[in-house]
Amino acid sequence: MPSSQQASNTPWQDRLAEVCREYQIQAPHFQIVSDRRGGRTAWSSIVTVYGKRIEARYWYDGRNITNAREDAAEAALNWLSNQANLSNSW
């Protein structure tokens, strides 16, 4: 199957980047954060978009860092969709 037809493994991140391009705002910047919890480390993500730092809702095992970024991207899209001042300028 051609790469242009393959489904993305990061739909929320892709959509967030698309929305930022569409509305001519700075591209999202992701940061991975960790928290030592007993004998394990939990991972999460923070995304900065339109000057706002938005945290992922959950913490993830190290094998699932992509999920942390997806979680933060989804939260950022929800935040952006609720910004009346942004939607008026779009």
**Which CATH number covers residue 65?**
3.30.160.20
* 37 within a domain of the structure (yes/no): yes
* 56 within a domain of the structure (yes/no): yes
* 85 within a domain of the structure (yes/no): no
Q: Enumerate helices (H) and strands (E) in the chain, giving the number of each.
A: 3, 3
* 74 within a domain of the structure (yes/no): yes
What tens digit of pLDDT does each residue of 22-36 get?
989 999 999 999 999
Total domain count, the chain = 1
pLDDT averaged over every residue in the chain? 88
The domain of 21 spans 12-79
* 34 within a domain of the structure (yes/no): yes
* 6 within a domain of the structure (yes/no): no
Sheet holding 40-49, edge to edge: 29-37, 40-49, 52-55
Question: pTM of the entire structure?
Answer: 0.83
Does residue 43 or residue 9 have the better pLDDT?
Answer: 43
